[in-house]
Chain A
């Protein structure tokens, strides 16, 4: 149990719209271990994104507790949560959400400077990471609108990694990309995971889910089942089959 980094107990999230209460998450219990590549799947409206944002401290759960390395972040104030996120979480969004008015490097620096003041070190780390995800020197001073979707998303991944967070949260990172770009981005994420980075990702896509070593299936706000796939290897037909069967049994 020592390597559990994030633990949610009896997590519930309720949205009330006037008198109608909608329970999006119901008494969820989740444990995320260091180095896990967890994928949350489920049909539309099953609460996967809500779960992701609740776990990442972006949204406060209605009920239940979330422990991050023994600290109950569910009791944090908004500002405390912001500080928690900048130190311990990285985010990758479907719509990428890079700041259009700033260069690639500045976009990454924004996040880095929130935690450290050492500009040199951050800039170097940013360049190193950009190199790792396959972006050349020439791209550092480009603006997001000058990049392709895949390139932009890889920049976003670097932004998420810049502070060496314990967990990277990804909300359908390949949702808005074409297949070539999606594979590129997934390769980067798999690589990052292989180097020990924990990732929690929400996806619809089976090809994306295949990269995970653990799949949680969410239905009506409840985790109805979980599949352990083990570490990802390329060109593993069995892996795809197991996942496919699991999903089919879930009624996917």
Chain B
């Protein structure tokens, strides 16, 4: 708890206590008489009187009283005695014979001195409470000083010893709410900085080592090339020295030249290869549709078949092994589309699908088989050729371009896969897709 809050709390408690005391004093109406009660007593006495009970003293509702009648000899004396003792005096009236009210005398209500005692007792209680409250607050204050100032000092001492021993991991427990906390905090800050400095040093060392390792690795490749050429030159020179014109400078020069030409030749070969690659790439692009091979989950294949299954004839004979494959979903979809359409067109039977995964060859095979007439065995190798169409009458009568399986093969090859067509109790197509 902060000192400010403490002060506020103390002030509030003290003020509340003060106000409570003042209110109690003001509210205590010890010397005021309960008029209602007096009226009640007077009326009761009047009624009794009327009923014939002419007792001249007694007690009613705990209030002792005495009656002084007008007809009494000592009426005056009784009355003034009562007034002297600050006693309550009230009229005693009765109904006369003619029905009019008339004054009979006075009722003097006797009071004892108990009010003073009550007042004293109340004062004692109040003073005891006040002193007790002050005492408790003083104790509280001492306690607070002890916990918030003296104890933290002890902790700080221990902390300093640890730091001196080099234990920088030891945290200084702190309480920010405390005034002392701000002080201990800076100590902890000091420890933290020391620890960071040590750690920074360690990190710097590590990264220096890493840099050296990285550079050495990168320089390897060019060095290897240089080495290879050196070796080559060495061998060449050695042979020339051993066979022809030993000692001749011309010969030496020639041999050196031949060697350099060989290097140039090799480099030219590379350039050649690069150009031919470029050439091939352009050619392929001209010749076929672009295939974007990407890594795809094999589950997309199931989806492709499902999209083609317009007649409910496709049956999966086993589960597809889940794996990532290289394919272009768009093109693979076209391949499957072409194969299934062919089956619908020429066989129109159920189509069974088998999947197979060859883990060692990293190959996923899809076998698509219908139960139609199949293809003429002689024509089997040709089905994937450009513009080839079967010679059977029914085939010739069915419209088609002869490009479906050709494109399928082109796509499959472009995806790094394969396609194989054969008869096996029906026309069967086996697709091979490369697994990542």
Q: Output the least CB separation between A248 and chain B (Å).
A: 7
Name the residue among A27, A63, A146, A149 with the largest chain B CB count within 10 angstroms: A27
Q: Which of B159-173 contact A (CB under 8 A)?
A: 169-171, 173
Bound Cα distance A63, B436 (Å): 13
Distance from B360 Cβ to chain A, minimum over Cβ atoms (Å): 11
Q: Which residues of B contact A87 (CB under 8 A)?
A: none
Query: A27 CA to B296 CA in the complex, in Å?
Result: 11
Stretch at the interface among B126-134, B267-275, B317-325, B369-377: B317-325
Complex interface: chain A residues within 8 A of B322 (CB) = 10, 12, 63-65
Interface check A148, CB cutoff 8 A:
yes
Closest Cβ neighbor of B359 among chain A residues: A29
Tell me whether A12 and B169 are in contact (CB under 8 A).
no
- Given contact pairs A26-B295, A26-B436, A63 touches B202 in the complex (Cβ within 8 A): no
Q: Is A222 an interface residue (CB 8 A)?
A: yes
Interface readout for A1-12 with B: 1 if CB under 8 Å, 0 if not?
Answer: 000000000101
Cβ–Cβ < 8 Å partners of A26 in chain B: 295, 324, 436
| Contact A12 to B171, CB < 8 A, known contacts A26-B436, A178-B199 | no
List B residues 133-192 near A (Cβ within 8 Å).
169-171, 173
Q: Assess whether B217 is interfacial by the CB under 8 Å rule.
A: yes
Whole-angstrom distance between the alpha carbons of A60 and B18 in the complex?
71
- How many residues from A make CB contacts under 8 Å with B? 21
A179 at the interface (CB under 8 A from B): yes
**Across the interface, do B169 and A148 meet the contact criterion of CB distance under 8 Å?**
yes
- A-B interface contact total, Cβ < 8 Å: 46
Contact of A145 among B171, B199, B357 (CB under 8 A): B171
Instruction: Look across to chain A and name the residue whose beta carbon is closest to the beta carbon of B171.
Output: A146
Interface flags for A26-62 (1: CB within 8 Å of B; 0: not) read 1101000000000000000000000000000000001
A63 touches B324 (CB 8 A): yes
Q: Pick from B170, B173, B323: contact of A12, CB below 8 A.
A: B323
Alpha-carbon distance A143/B232, docked complex (angstroms): 70
Contact of A10 among B169, B171, B217, B321 (CB under 8 A): B321
| A14 and B297 in contact, given A23-B324, A64-B322, A222-B436 (Cβ under 8 angstroms) | yes
- Among B202, B295, B357, which residue has its beta carbon within 8 angstroms of that of A179? B202
**Do the beta carbons of A27 and B435 come within 8 Å of each other?**
yes
Contact call A64/B323, Cβ cutoff below 8 A: yes
Closest A residue to B168 by beta carbon equals A148
Query: Which A residue's beta carbon lies closest to that of B435?
Result: A27
Contact partners of B57 in chain A: CB under 8 A: none
In the complex, what's the smallest C-beta–C-beta distance from B292 to chain A, in angstroms?
13
Residues of A within 8 A of B410 (CB): none
Complex Cα gap A14–B296 (Å): 9
> In angstroms, how far is the closest chain A Cβ from the Cβ of B365?
15
Taking the complex as formed, is A237 at the interface, i.e. its CB lies under 8 A from any CB of chain B? no
Contact of B217 among A12, A29, A146, A248 (CB under 8 A): A248
| Residues of chain B contacted by A12 (CB below 8 angstroms) | 297, 322-324
Kindly state whether residue B428 has any CB partner on chain A within 8 Å: no
Q: Does B40 contact A (CB under 8 A)?
A: no
Scan residues 122-158 of chain A and give those whose CB is less than 8 A from a CB of chain B. Answer: 145-146, 148-150
On whether the beta carbons of B199 and A63 are closer than 8 Å, the reply is no
Check: B255 CB closer than 8 A to any chain A CB.
Answer: no
Alpha-carbon distance A150/B169, docked complex (angstroms): 10
Query: What's the interface size class on B, roughly?
Result: 20 to 34
User: Is A18's CB within 8 Å of the partner chain B?
Assistant: no
Q: Once the chains bind, are A251 and B217 in contact (CB under 8 Å)? A: yes
Which A residues lie within 8 Å of B436 (CB)? 23, 26-27, 222
Is B298 interfacial (CB 8 A cutoff)? yes
| A248→B198 CA distance, assembly (Å) | 30
Of all chain A residues, the one with the shortest Cβ separation from B169 is: A148
Q: Which of B399-434 contact A (CB under 8 A)?
A: none
On chain A, the residues within 8 Å of B359 by CB distance are 10, 29
The answer to whether B323 touches A10 (Cβ under 8 A) is yes
Please give, as numbers and ranges, the residues of chain A lying within 8 Å of B217 by CB-CB distance. Answer: 248, 251
**CB neighbors of B among A67-93 (8 A):** none
Q: Mark A236-252, 1 if CB is under 8 A from B, else 0.
A: 00000000000010010
* B299 proximal to A (CB < 8 A): yes
Within 8 A of A (CB), among B312-364: 321-324, 357, 359
Within 8 A of A (CB), among B40-87: none
B297 engages A62 (CB within 8 Å): yes
Interface centre among A62, A63, A145, A251, by most chain B C-beta atoms within 10 angstroms, is: A63
**In the bound complex, CA of A12 to CA of B321 (Å):** 12
Quick one: closest A residue to B294, CB to CB?
A21
A-side contacts of B298, CB under 8 Å: 63
Within 8 A of A (CB), among B364-388: none
Q: Which residue of B lies closest to A14 (CB)?
A: B297
Contact with A along B242-266 (1 / 0, CB 8 A): 0000000000000000000000000
- Which residue numbers of A lie inside 8 Å of B, CB to CB? 10, 12, 14, 23, 26-27, 29, 62-65, 145-146, 148-150, 178-179, 222, 248, 251
Extra inter-chain contacts (7) besides given A26-B295, A63-B297, A65-B322, CB under 8 Å: A62-B297, A63-B299, A64-B323, A146-B173, A148-B170, A178-B199, A222-B436
Q: Which 7 A-B pairs have the closest CB atoms?
A: A148-B169, A63-B322, A10-B323, A26-B436, A12-B324, A26-B324, A27-B323
Can you list 13 A-B contacts with CB-CB less than 8 angstroms, sorted by A residue number?
Answer: A12-B322, A12-B323, A23-B295, A27-B435, A63-B323, A63-B324, A64-B323, A146-B171, A149-B169, A178-B198, A178-B199, A178-B202, A222-B436
